[in-house]
Structure 1
């Protein structure tokens, strides 16, 4: 992200539509962070259950199903499915890392 007041233009010279769009982006970014926080609260509990049941931290079969599902959702939403898959891979790697930590504590 760049600060336009330092990147060559004063804040008052920014067109109103640009400010409106940036505010919308800021709101969406906040929503993504809140949604991810909720997602990780749930996956934390999943990790605890897996550890209690002696299940492995990762579930490659489920991950493959999720990849296919999210690629389809991305395509339907006109989002690059490669981007969606990379994003999911990053999220899953963090979840597995957390699940591994939980299992090691049990």
Structure 2
């Protein structure tokens, strides 16, 4: 494999990294909308059972590639950041 192929693959990976972060940003916007709806119903933002259900569902779909623990390792920081975004939105300006 020559260096041009490696550079091309790295470029593709860089593009996907940007797309992943764009999707995480879109997810954060949806989380904020969900938070508003939940707050109107008097519900908490944090739902550990929902987080676990997401991890288990993704594991069912992507399991020979990733273990359930690896999926949790990927998604738990996203969940944590989403909760922080929700809390930040509620802080007085």
TM over 0.5: yes
Preserved contact between residue 57 and residue 96 of structure 1 (Cα < 8 Å): yes
Q: TM-score scaled by structure 1?
A: 0.72
Preserved contact between residue 71 and residue 81 of structure 1 (Cα < 8 Å): yes
Corresponding pairs, count: 91
Unaligned runs of 5+ in 2: none
Unaligned runs of 5+ in 1: 1-13
Work out which of the two has the higher radius of gyration on C-alpha atoms and give 1 or 2: 1
Q: TM-score scaled by structure 2?
A: 0.81
What aligned pairs does 1:13-92 form with structure 2 within 5 A after superposition?
A: 15-76=3-64, 78-92=65-79
Report what 1:6 is aligned to.
none
Q: Secondary structure at the match of 1:43?
A: helix
The two structures, once aligned, show a CA RMSD in angstroms of 2.0
